[in-house]
């Protein structure tokens, strides 16, 4: 399997936190993600997941260690990484003054792709997420689930090497979230994109991931769970519950540790 994401001993220190004292948000995180792999990063609220996401996106450079995505550093090679890494955030983050198709195609517009081509590509992805016919609508005319579908098509339209889902289904109702998770996973599998799913929802992590990494606080990997082989077992449902309990215990013990 070709490694697409390589995170080595990443650390992030801040000069001053809420209390004015220096603090470490990410202590020591290392992991890699291969092509077509879905790695779920799980942890309690405030454990440093958002900081890790910002570093993966290249919006915040690490204090120590290195992140390589398709051989490039997301922060140091900021513009060279254009289109290689896409993100779906907790809220849709659509630009309200842009129509659905203009929102979906914005990544291509940033990359100066000609209008006809970017519209054609955006239409393909909008159709894949079930939004054909809604191209000229504005975000406020869509439901929450539909808006998140536009956000998903916006992420896939640039044909990225890595897709980052940051609590992407966290604000939706359970039924919509389940449907959207399934559709999103089908697109990830179809496009063979490496995916990093950041979530605090253990059930979601077990449903989506080929591997689940559990973060402690400050962020460091405190346990890792391979799920590919387990999923093939006839008693996967039982095994899944065991892994869930194990993850829960790990996070819980970390809270008091």
Partner 1 sequence: MTSGIPQRTPTAPGAPLVSHAVNRYVRWLGSQRDTLGTAIVVIAVLLAWQFFGGYLPKYIFPTIPLAIEKFEQIITLKGTYVAIGQTLVRILGGFAVSASFGIAFGILMAMSTQFNFIARPLIRLIMGVPALTWVLLGVIWFKNMELRVWFFMFIVTFPITALNTYDGVRAVPFELYQMTRSLRPTTAGLLRFLIIPAATPFIFSGLRLSLSFSGRIAVFAEAIAAGTGIGAEMMLTNQLFDVAGLIGWTFILIVVLSLMDGALEVLERRWFRWRREMKD
Choose between 91 and 203: whose C-beta lies nearer to partner 1.
91
104 binds partner 1 (CB under 8 A): no
Sign of CA dihedral 197, 78, 50, 169: negative
* Tokens 């204090």 belong to residue: 63
Closest separation between CB of residue 5 and partner 1, Å?
15
Q: Which of 23, 31, 78, 236 binds partner 1 (CB under 8 A)?
A: 78
Residue 178: C-alpha distances to residues 174, 185, 208 (Å)? 6, 11, 11
Q: Measured from the CB of residue 111, what is the shortest distance to partner 1 in angstroms?
A: 8
CB nearer to partner 1: give 23 or 78. 78
What is the greatest pairwise CA distance in the chain? 57
| Cβ nearer to partner 1, comparing 93 with 244 | 93
Of 11-19, 53-61, 174-182, 202-210, which segment contacts partner 1 by CB under 8 A?
53-61
Distance CA 114, CA 180 (A): 30
Q: What are the residues whose beta carbons fall under 8 Å from the beta carbon of 174, sequence distance 6 or more?
A: none
Rounded to whole angstroms, the Cα distance separating 255 from 257 reads: 6
Q: Which of 15, 20, 96, 257 binds partner 1 (CB under 8 A)?
A: 96
Instruction: Report the residue count for the chain.
Output: 257
Applying CB under 8 A, which residues contact partner 1?
54, 57-59, 78-79, 81-82, 85-87, 89, 91, 93, 95-97, 106-107, 109-110, 138, 140-141
């Amino acid at each position: 399997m070709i490694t697409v994401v390589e995170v080595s001993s990443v650390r992030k220190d801040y000069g001053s936190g809420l209390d004015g004292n220096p603090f470490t948000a990410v202590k020591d995180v290392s992991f890699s993600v291969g092509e077509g792999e879905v790695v779920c990063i799980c942890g309690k609220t405030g454990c440093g997941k958002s900081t890790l996401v910002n570093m993966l996106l290249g919006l915040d450079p690490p204090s120590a260690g290195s992140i390589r995505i398709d051989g490039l550093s997301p922060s140091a090679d900021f513009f060279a990484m254009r289109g290689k890494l896409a993100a779906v955030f907790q809220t849709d983050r659509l630009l309200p003054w842009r129509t659905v198709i203009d929102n979906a195609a914005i990544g291509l517009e940033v990359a100066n792709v000609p209008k006809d081509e970017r519209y054609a590509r955006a239409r393909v992805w909008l159709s894949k997420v079930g939004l054909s016919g809604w191209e000229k609508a504005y975000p406020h005319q869509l439901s929450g689930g539909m808006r998140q579908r536009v956000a998903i098509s916006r992420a896939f339209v640039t044909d990225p090497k890595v897709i980052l889902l940051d609590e992407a289904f966290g604000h939706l109702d359970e039924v919509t979230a389940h449907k959207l998770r399934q559709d999103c996973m089908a697109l990830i599998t179809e496009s063979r994109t490496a995916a990093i799913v950041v979530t605090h929802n253990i059930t979601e992590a077990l449903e989506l991931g080929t591997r689940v990494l559990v973060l402690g606080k400050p962020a460091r990997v405190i346990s890792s769970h391979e799920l590919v082989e387990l999923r093939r077992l006839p008693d996967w449902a039982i095994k899944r519950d065991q892994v869930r309990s194990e993850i829960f215990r790990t996070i819980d013990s970390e809270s008091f540790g």
